[in-house]
């Protein structure tokens, strides 16, 4: 039995795999080691993952997650403590996306979910990767930035009247609460991104489409343009890319960027590619 995890800032998907087939799935809260302390990671793993994992004889765990490029050793330490006889590998979420989408080892991959991350790989190795400044300094195209723009317009009364009315009916949120959640409470990124579904529910409205389109245009200009997109297709992983695929496709075509794979979750592709890799090793 092997276990593969795709961890984002908001949620973490686990797949328990036997002979290349997913026999059980598990969803739990995100455990980004860059934004939550190790003790919280330990509590969540013990509470949600360990009881399920205890039913299986696990030989390998691959954990690809947000924040693991800087703090992956925290998650590895926790998993090693709970599963001392299991081989544990921890990598960043963008490494997992590349492993899932670039089966031949070459391409550009971009995660579009709560946050944004991108990378170009050649022959299985990273050859170019932009720094991830986060939603305050960047992350254009992410659910966090789209939600932040929506809330900013709400505060400044910049929404069309009909949408403003719908927003207040759907969300029981006040301006003081928005300010408090933004500056005084943890996980502001999750708070912002929780409003992005409003855009998808009302995507036929020009106002909502404009927010999404502007974000994708900035993503193409400020992020994707740094890669060899004239030669390589760009693959996308994440809920934002999947939900707004039609608008993303339009923007890519206008910018002359070739679209590759777009998947909400890379789990199935990771299962296929990592199982193949493990079989070759054995």
Question: What pLDDT, in 10s, does the model give residues 15-59?
Answer: 999 888 888 999 888 877 777 778 888 998 999 999 999 999 999
| Residue bearing tokens 């300010």 | 179
Return the DSSP state at 45: I
Where does residue 187 fall: left (phi above 0), alpha (psi -120 to 50 degrees), or beta otherwise?
left
Measured from the Cβ of residue 40, the count of other Cβ atoms closer than 10 Å reads: 13
Residue among 26, 8, 5, 32 at smallest CA distance from 267: 5
Return the percentage of the chain with pLDDT > 90, whole number: 53
7-11, 145-149, 265-269: segment of lowest average pLDDT: 7-11
pLDDT exceeds 80 at position 153 = yes
Domain range summary for the chain, segments of one domain joined by + = 2-99+266-281
Q: How far apart (Å, rounded) are the C-alpha atoms in residues 30 and 39?
A: 14
- Show the tokens assigned to 117: 């991350």
Tell me the CATH number for domain 2-99+266-281.
Answer: 3.30.420.40
Q: How far apart (Å, rounded) are the C-alpha atoms in residues 247 and 263?
A: 15
29-43, 75-89, 109-123, 167-181: segment of lowest average pLDDT: 29-43
């Amino acid at each position: 039995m092997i276990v593969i995890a795709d961890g984002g800032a908001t949620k973490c998907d686990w797949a328990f795999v036997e002979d290349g087939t997913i026999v059980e799935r598990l969803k739990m809260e995100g455990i980004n080691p860059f934004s939550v302390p190790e003790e919280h990671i330990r509590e969540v793993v013990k509470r949600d993952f360990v009881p399920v994992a205890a039913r299986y004889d696990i030989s390998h765990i691959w954990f690809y997650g947000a924040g693991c490029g800087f703090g992956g050793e925290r998650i590895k330490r926790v998993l090693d403590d709970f599963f001392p006889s299991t081989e544990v590998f921890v990598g960043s979420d963008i490494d997992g996306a590349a492993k899932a989408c670039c089966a031949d080892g070459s391409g550009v991959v971009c995660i579009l979910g709560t946050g944004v991350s991108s990378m170009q790989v050649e022959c299985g190795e990273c050859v170019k990767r932009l720094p991830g400044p986060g939603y305050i300094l960047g992350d254009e195209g992410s659910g966090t930035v789209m939600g932040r723009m929506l809330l900013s317009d709400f505060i400044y009364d910049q929404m069309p009247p009909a949408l403003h009315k719908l927003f207040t009916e759907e969300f029981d949120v006040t301006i003081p609460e928005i300010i408090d959640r933004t500056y005084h409470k943890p996980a502001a990124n999750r708070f912002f991104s929780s409003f992005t579904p409003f855009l998808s529910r009302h995507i036929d409205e020009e106002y909502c489409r404009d927010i999404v389109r502007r974000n994708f245009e900035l993503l193409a200009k400020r992020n994707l343009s740094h890669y060899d997109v004239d030669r390589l297709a760009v693959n996308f992983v994440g809920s934002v890319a999947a939900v707004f695929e039609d608008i993303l496709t339009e923007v890519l075509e206008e910018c002359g960027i070739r679209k590759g794979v777009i998947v909400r979750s890379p789990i199935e592709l990771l299962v296929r590619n990592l199982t193949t890799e493990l079989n070759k090793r054995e």
